[in-house]
Structure 1
């Protein structure tokens, strides 16, 4: 007679989820995690929240969850920039940045009730830009910038000041960069 497989406890499931996150370089979606541990995506959302509350450096991005290690993944020189554009110009904005070798860490908008709302986007290249835009379209989600008439901030990073300067000049030429 075959031995019946014991169902894992919630604690064991969270340990398995944590193990998967720590052993992946690329983002993993909540749906993929849910399928692997045979629970709903909503259970995974709760598990991730509990893991974050315990201090695990898990970041939810537009491409899925990432376990942020201490290694210096992002380029060393960072800036925060203010931009304004329509939703239709999002691809142009992101493509300009990545084409200049710029990593886009996050997007922030100032909400009238909640204050600053920041979301990790972690966009490195054109493939990431396309994945991000496809995810927005497939989920029928809105861009955060739609809450603020197109005005938003990005934390960006690059290996040189020159790369950042050139990217900002290109955004300025397109009328996307807000001047101070």
Structure 2
């Protein structure tokens, strides 16, 4: 017996509910299977949810819903780095090994201005998944468009963790000061 397709608004509400309850990122393919539509329809639904100001973010691991953090306020810092694509894994390991989350990567494109891509990695497993996704899809790192120069928005539960991570990035020759 074939599953019936949900009406669009019902499907979008279902997706939103799924993402709010999820404890791990959900891929477009996973959501597509659950809703009996194509992955492309899910991409479109996610875009509509974002346009409605829902805090849904696409990461290399899948879609996540950004819940408001209650209680502890995270420290944030934006840093400038410069390295080769092959050194990306080392850079990210340095950061997450200090208990720092990497929210995004930002480059300044000559035509489009600032381009920001969500990374959202907080541990080595997520870094490995991110690097693997780049390889599997034969994608390029954004830093290749700027000769290695890029920014990251970092988060941690203390400034000391951010500071220690930056010191190690400096030692590795990745931090631009």
- Which category of TM-score, normalised to the shorter sequence, fits these structures? over 0.9
**TM-score normalized by the length of structure 2:** 0.93
1:78 aligns with 2:76: yes
1:23-172 alignment to 2 at 5 Å? 23-72=21-70, 76-172=74-170
Q: How big is each residue's C-alpha offset from its partner over 1:93-119, in whole Å with a ceiling of 9 and x where there is no partner?
A: 000011111111111010111111111
- In the alignment, the residues of structure 1 paired with residue 6 and residue 163 of structure 2 have an alpha-carbon distance, to the nearest angstrom, of 52
| Corresponding pairs, count | 177
The question of whether the paired residues in 2 share the 8 Å contact of 1:74 and 1:103 is answered with: no
Structure 2 contact 134–140 (Cα < 8 Å) conserved: yes
Show structure 1 runs of 5+ residues with no match.
none
What are the ranges of 5 or more consecutive residues in structure 2 without an aligned counterpart? none
Question: Residues 125 and 72 (structure 1 numbering): CA distance in 2 closer, same or farther, change over 3 Å?
Answer: farther
Query: Is the CA contact 1:59–1:67 (under 8 Å) kept in the aligned structure 2?
Result: yes
In terms of Rg, which structure is larger?
1
Q: What do you get for the CA RMSD once the two structures are aligned? A: 1.8
